[in-house]
Structure 1
Amino acid sequence: MTVTPAISEAAQPAPDRPAHRDPDVLRWLGAYTSSAIGDNVYYVALSWAAVQAGTPSQAGLVMAASAVPRALLMLGGGVIADRFGPRRVLIAGGGVRCAAVVAVAALLLVSSPGLWLLGLLALVFGVVDAVVMPALGALPARITVRGQLARVQGMRGMASRLAAVVGAPLGGLGVALGGAAAAFGAAALLFAVALPLLTAVRMRSRPQDGGAGQEPPSRPTAARDLRDGVEYIRRDPVLARLMVVIALSDLGFVGPLNVGLTLLADERGWGATGMGWVLAGFGTGAGATSLLLAVRGRVPRAGLVLSVTIAVGAVAVGALAYVPTLAAAVGTALAVGLLTGLSGALCGALIQTESDPAFTGRVTSVANLFSLGLAPLTFPLTGAAIALWGTGPVFAASAGVCALGGLTGLACGALRRAELPR
């Protein structure tokens, strides 16, 4: 697809300004919000079409198909983001998503192609996700100053919550009015809206990019780039321990708050409505944290706060399985959202501020490998463990894994002393 000339890619923006007043940050935020709403619409359309075309188990396989390429290709996506620039990667990925969804919507209008088409679409999205997600994490550090990155994380968190609130109902409305084809069409339109906004974003030059008329340095192989990225993380005392903290906290958190919460609501007789209230409590807490970061722009002693909130949040995760009433569960979920929302935003901000811009895509890809690639693979294990031992012991064990992540951060002096720039 067409990409704007390289000169706009490296154009130096106007004087530094707060992120919420920076046109490049706002254009990026608009593109991210539109694309995130499109993601939610897409998942509603995909799940509806899969259920209509096959059995519940087959539909589950279609929905899970994206996880495999994400897990296998995420590290390579970080190399691509650092090699070609995160803005270019996001534009190309958005274009592929848009074209793929349009093609599926057109086929659904004229025929009934079956599950194979939906499974292929899910695989395409998984491959694109593996490339786009590291670029998404790397781009903020290239469009604003380091002191604004925590505020950008808060703004992104608010956009993500808005997308979750708006996207699912919009997808359901599309299905109700015109079936899965109409919902896929709405998702494609939202993906398309993001493209011109991303094209207008200007990126800051990296020192190693060189000036006009200079010969670019010889480029190593992709495999060497990947090895260099892993070695860069290993040598950095903050990033190396932060990756361990992220891995442990996500492995302990993702299963209970997805599969486990559904089974807990069924066991307690809360039903879908009760589960919705618990999720609303979590979303409210996470949204409040995002708003706090967007307004304040900085949290003092970020490494210490990150580690403490993970450890305390782990206690709240374990308590979800033992609270006596739905109201108590909603209040506990609110606390989980506040604590994990803050720790997650601080993780993202520290990754961007501690990483050299030349390595940000690869560092982000390692973090995403745990968060979005491997952690979702624990869903069937969580379900099987609850079937064997019940919700209480599984939530408690998962909380223990989360707490171990927080304690790991507290035990590392470099991470505990890590600060966000002013």
Structure 2
Amino acid sequence: MTTTVIPPAVRPSAGPAHRDGNVLRWLGAYTASMIGDNVFYIALSWAAVRSGTPSQAGLVMAVSAVPRALLMLGGGVVADRFGPRRVVIGSDAVRCAAVLTVAALLFVAHPGLWLLALLAVVFGIVDAVFMPAVGALPARVTGRDQLARVQGMRGLAVRFANVVGAPLGGLGVALGGSATAFALAGLLIAVSVPLLISVRMRETPQAGGANTADTANTTNTANTTNTANTADTADTAPAPVEAVGPPGDADGAPARGDASGPHARVPDAEDGAAAVPERPATAWRDLRDGLRYIRGHRVLAPLIVTIALGDLGFVGPLNVGLALLADRRGWGASGMGLVVAAFGAGAGAAALLLAWRGTLPRAGSAGAAALLGGSVAIGALAQVPGVGAAVGVALAIGLLAGLSGALCGALLQTQSDPAYLGRVTAVAGIVSLGLAPLSMPLTAAAIGWWGTGPVFAGSAVVCGLGGVVALAVRDLRRAELPR
């Protein structure tokens, strides 16, 4: 029997992302949530310092990282199974309820560090599902050709939240202590929920129609015709469209039992054999399929290695290393503040460039070149004697590292099959939020042994290796963003 496939209707484009009301509602929700996060951590740190010793306060601040790192892969499975918008809405609702509950308790009593530690653990658990869903959501709210611009807008939102959140948290503490700051954080997170509910989801192609985990793992050859898994044809692949019919639910999650989903079993139509029943999908199977999909993808696998090396070489020097460098150079707190501000300005300029242009030619090569340039600047930062020169170098680091990060994030969005995007984001998030922070205590210890110059130079080499990997892998080097 011959089956006629009717192509889905295509709704006219909403125009550039910065003029699309749907994208702007998502951006408003994301910005409110990020500002609330910044206020929350100011309130948590202040309450922990007031309730215990410095070491106990540090433990409370660090305890959320453990469940976040351990559970994030599972969070990616949850995002892909239930749809990113539904997961983000639920996560923000839980975070809002938890923070407001703690605020109410602090208004009437002083329960101590155990409550703060419990809140930090809850935040870490929720973040494990929130972060992969946040990473998968842009592909469901805009067209494929606008994902790079959305990545730049997202970068601007993060910079704005960092600039605004800390003063708001400090103001809340000054007006009414930690309880008021927690209440402010909860209200800001609450703002995101109705905005997210109003965001419309776009239907996206299912994994089985282009690049399943199995085919990604078995057809990884130079002459493959899999258009979803090659950098050369990434430009010409069809953009996500709004579909007529029920290929997925209203949140963009694959419909249960859909024959085009990532776990579909294709029947052997030769001699009219009956279809083999599909094995029931499990979370463990989803996780294995996602990891197999990434491992077999000729762009995503080296791209995640590039992101990992860049973060490992960047996080240590630009966090704990910068404070030790400023102390040894005698720049003082004000000088360090100027250097940090210059870095933020450079990163913001890179995000603004991508948001304005929407794409850059030869994105894979451009991201690698920016990462290599940023690594040289990281090594140079430890060699400059004065604050003025350090500010200039930090501006260059922010611009180059910000541009590389934005391009890598945009390629991650556009190269991933939407049905796997939550799991892809989770793997990249584990690298950035689980492995990279481990370099901070190692950087501090290494500076104590060998000094700032050798340690910054070693970090620059690690960061530069990410650029080398991106240039050495042909498919990543030639990867393009859609226009």
Q: TM-score, normalised by structure 2?
A: 0.83
Deviation at 1:12, TM superposition (A): 8.8
The 8 Å contact of residues 72 and 129 in structure 2, kept in 1 or not, is answered as: yes
- The answer for the alignment partner of 1:7 in structure 2 is none
Spell out, residue by residue over 1:106-127, the C-alpha distance to the aligned partner (whole angstroms, 9 max, x if none): 1111111111111111111111
Deviates more, 1:182-191 or 1:391-400: 391-400
- The answer for the alignment partner of 2:271 in structure 1 is none
Please give the alpha-carbon distance, in whole angstroms, between the structure 1 residues aligned to 2:438 and 2:197: 34
Query: Given the superposition, is the C-alpha separation of residues 196 and 263 from structure 1 closer, same or farther in structure 2, using an over 3 Å criterion?
Result: same
Query: Given the superposition, is the C-alpha separation of residues 150 and 212 from structure 1 closer, same or farther in structure 2, using an over 3 Å criterion?
Result: closer
Please give the alpha-carbon distance, in whole angstroms, between the structure 2 residues aligned to 1:75 and 1:275: 36
The 8 Å contact of residues 67 and 377 in structure 1, kept in 2 or not, is answered as: no
- The answer for the alignment partner of 2:439 in structure 1 is 378
The 8 Å contact of residues 29 and 192 in structure 2, kept in 1 or not, is answered as: yes
Please give the alpha-carbon distance, in whole angstroms, between the structure 2 residues aligned to 1:195 and 1:270: 43
Runs of 4+ aligned structure 1 residues displaced above 2 Å come to: 11-16, 206-219
Please give the alpha-carbon distance, in whole angstroms, between the structure 2 residues aligned to 1:176 and 1:234: 50
Please give the alpha-carbon distance, in whole angstroms, between the structure 1 residues aligned to 2:464 and 2:256: 50
- The answer for the alignment partner of 1:18 in structure 2 is 16
The 8 Å contact of residues 86 and 135 in structure 1, kept in 2 or not, is answered as: yes
Deviation at 1:211, TM superposition (A): 3.2
Please give the alpha-carbon distance, in whole angstroms, between the structure 1 residues aligned to 2:53 and 2:445: 21
- The answer for the alignment partner of 2:257 in structure 1 is 216
Equivalent in 84, 90, 97 of residue 92 of structure 1:
90
Please give the alpha-carbon distance, in whole angstroms, between the structure 2 residues aligned to 1:378 and 1:62: 20
Equivalent in 41, 58, 75 of residue 73 of structure 2:
75
- After superposition, residues 128-277 of structure 1 pair within 5 angstroms as 128-208=126-206, 211-212=245-246, 216-217=257-258, 220-277=281-338
Spell out, residue by residue over 1:219-270, the C-alpha distance to the aligned partner (whole angstroms, 9 max, x if none): 5111111111111111111111001101111111111111111111111122
Deviation at 1:296, TM superposition (A): 0.6
Deviation at 1:54, TM superposition (A): 1.0
Equivalent in 373, 376, 379 of residue 312 of structure 1:
373
Spell out, residue by residue over 1:297-330, the C-alpha distance to the aligned partner (whole angstroms, 9 max, x if none): 0010000001111111001111111111011111
Q: What letter is aligned with 1:151?
A: R
The 8 Å contact of residues 13 and 204 in structure 1, kept in 2 or not, is answered as: no
Deviation at 1:50, TM superposition (A): 0.7
Please give the alpha-carbon distance, in whole angstroms, between the structure 2 residues aligned to 1:215 and 1:123: 32
Spell out, residue by residue over 1:17-56, the C-alpha distance to the aligned partner (whole angstroms, 9 max, x if none): 2101111110000001101111111111011111111111
The secondary structure found in structure 1 opposite 2:281 is: coil
Q: What letter is aligned with 1:181?
A: A
Deviation at 1:348, TM superposition (A): 0.8
The 8 Å contact of residues 12 and 204 in structure 1, kept in 2 or not, is answered as: no
Structure 2: give runs of 5+ residues left out of the alignment.
1-8, 207-242, 248-254, 259-277
- The answer for the alignment partner of 2:417 in structure 1 is 356
The 8 Å contact of residues 329 and 385 in structure 2, kept in 1 or not, is answered as: no
Q: Which has the higher helix share?
A: 1
Deviation at 1:14, TM superposition (A): 6.0
Query: Given the superposition, is the C-alpha separation of residues 90 and 64 from structure 1 closer, same or farther in structure 2, using an over 3 Å criterion?
Result: same
Deviates more, 1:182-191 or 1:370-379: 370-379
Q: What letter is aligned with 2:94?
A: V
The 8 Å contact of residues 151 and 297 in structure 1, kept in 2 or not, is answered as: yes
Spell out, residue by residue over 1:182-215, the C-alpha distance to the aligned partner (whole angstroms, 9 max, x if none): 0000000000000000011111113349934997
Spell out, residue by residue over 1:95-115, the C-alpha distance to the aligned partner (whole angstroms, 9 max, x if none): 011011011111111111111
Query: Given the superposition, is the C-alpha separation of residues 389 and 358 from structure 1 closer, same or farther in structure 2, using an over 3 Å criterion?
Result: same
Deviates more, 1:63-72 or 1:94-103: 63-72
The 8 Å contact of residues 205 and 418 in structure 2, kept in 1 or not, is answered as: no
Equivalent in 50, 53, 66 of residue 52 of structure 1:
50
The 8 Å contact of residues 12 and 202 in structure 1, kept in 2 or not, is answered as: no
CA RMSD of aligned residues (A): 1.7
Q: What letter is aligned with 1:126?
A: G
Deviates more, 1:318-327 or 1:372-381: 372-381
The 8 Å contact of residues 13 and 202 in structure 1, kept in 2 or not, is answered as: no
Please give the alpha-carbon distance, in whole angstroms, between the structure 2 residues aligned to 1:388 and 1:54: 31
How many residues end up aligned between the 2 structures? 412
Please give the alpha-carbon distance, in whole angstroms, between the structure 2 residues aligned to 1:290 and 1:158: 6
Q: What letter is aligned with 1:30?
A: G
Equivalent in 326, 332, 347 of residue 286 of structure 1:
347
Deviates more, 1:383-392 or 1:343-352: 383-392
Spell out, residue by residue over 1:53-92, the C-alpha distance to the aligned partner (whole angstroms, 9 max, x if none): 1111111111111111111111111111110111001000
- The answer for the alignment partner of 1:5 in structure 2 is none
Q: What letter is aligned with 2:22?
A: D
The 8 Å contact of residues 29 and 156 in structure 1, kept in 2 or not, is answered as: yes
The 8 Å contact of residues 286 and 341 in structure 1, kept in 2 or not, is answered as: yes
Structure 1: give runs of 5+ residues left out of the alignment.
1-10
The secondary structure found in structure 2 opposite 1:322 is: coil
The one of the two structures with greater contact order (alpha-carbon pairs below 8 A, sep at least 6) is: 1
Please give the alpha-carbon distance, in whole angstroms, between the structure 1 residues aligned to 2:145 and 2:295: 25
Q: What letter is aligned with 1:54?
A: G
Deviation at 1:377, TM superposition (A): 2.1
Deviation at 1:378, TM superposition (A): 2.0
Deviation at 1:344, TM superposition (A): 0.5
Deviation at 1:15, TM superposition (A): 3.4
The 8 Å contact of residues 89 and 197 in structure 2, kept in 1 or not, is answered as: yes
Q: Which structure: larger Rg?
A: 2
- The answer for the alignment partner of 1:107 in structure 2 is 105
Q: What letter is aligned with 1:269?
A: G
Please give the alpha-carbon distance, in whole angstroms, between the structure 2 residues aligned to 1:189 and 1:252: 36
